[in-house]
Amino acid sequence: MSETTLSVHRRFRISTCASHALRTSVAHHTSGAGVGSRRIEPGLNRLAALPVWFRIFVAITSGSVEEILYRGYAVERLVSVMDNYWLAGLVAVIAFGLARIPFWGIGPALGADLPFGLVMTLFYLWRRDLIAN
């Protein structure tokens, strides 16, 4: 393998492992094992009412679609308007967290999704690589 290929592979592993650790931690704290399970019950009930095929489709596509929309597209478009990557990232993170309030409620959206969005946006701003996210 070339040095460039190894570098890309190494970046992918680091951010993927960190992303997985963060997702596992958030899932633990917002599931029945964590403190916040009562706050997400309404969202889980709405999710359970959806057809199985749709839940599978969302599970398969949501991660990549969110990365493209909130990190790739939103950050880059906001930078073209604001001329500041950090401010554009902050606006994208806030939009990411606020978009979850109608479904999950304010507690889980701001307590779990917003910090997750912040970390993923920081990874994107650091590496400018959606595949590594």
Looking at the domain assignment, is residue 132 inside a domain?
no
Q: Which of the pair, 49 or 43, is modelled with greater confidence?
A: 49
Looking at the domain assignment, is residue 34 inside a domain?
yes
Instruction: Please report which confidence band the pLDDT of residue 108 belongs to, taking 50, 70 and 90 as the band edges.
Output: confident
Looking at the domain assignment, is residue 106 inside a domain?
yes
| Least trusted range by pLDDT, from 53-57, 94-98, 125-129 | 125-129
Looking at the domain assignment, is residue 83 inside a domain?
yes
Share of the chain above pLDDT 90, in %: 37
Q: Are 73 and 86 in contact (CB under 8 A)?
A: no
Q: Are 96 and 69 in contact (CB under 8 A)?
A: no
Looking at the domain assignment, is residue 133 inside a domain?
no
Q: Could you give the C-alpha distances from 118 to 57, 70, 89, 97, in angstroms and in order?
A: 25, 11, 8, 9
State if pTM tops 0.75: no
Looking at the domain assignment, is residue 95 inside a domain?
yes
Residue 110's domain spans which residues? Answer: 3-127
Please give the tally of structural domains in the chain: 1
Instruction: Please report which confidence band the pLDDT of residue 46 belongs to, taking 50, 70 and 90 as the band edges.
Output: confident
Tokens in use for 26?
A: 């958030």
Block residue for tokens 């999950």: 104
Phi, psi of 66, deg, nearest 5: -65, -40
User: What DSSP element (H or E) covers 79?
Assistant: helix 74-82
Q: Could you give the C-alpha distances from 124 to 16, 30, 71, 103, 117, in angstroms and in order?
A: 12, 25, 7, 25, 10
- Measure the CA–CA gap between 49 and 98, rounded to whole angstroms: 23
Instruction: Please report which confidence band the pLDDT of residue 130 belongs to, taking 50, 70 and 90 as the band edges.
Output: confident
SS3 49: coil
Looking at the domain assignment, is residue 103 inside a domain?
yes
Looking at the domain assignment, is residue 63 inside a domain?
yes
Cα–Cα nearest to 122, from 64, 77, 70: 70
Instruction: Please report which confidence band the pLDDT of residue 33 belongs to, taking 50, 70 and 90 as the band edges.
Output: very low
Block residue for tokens 């199985």: 52
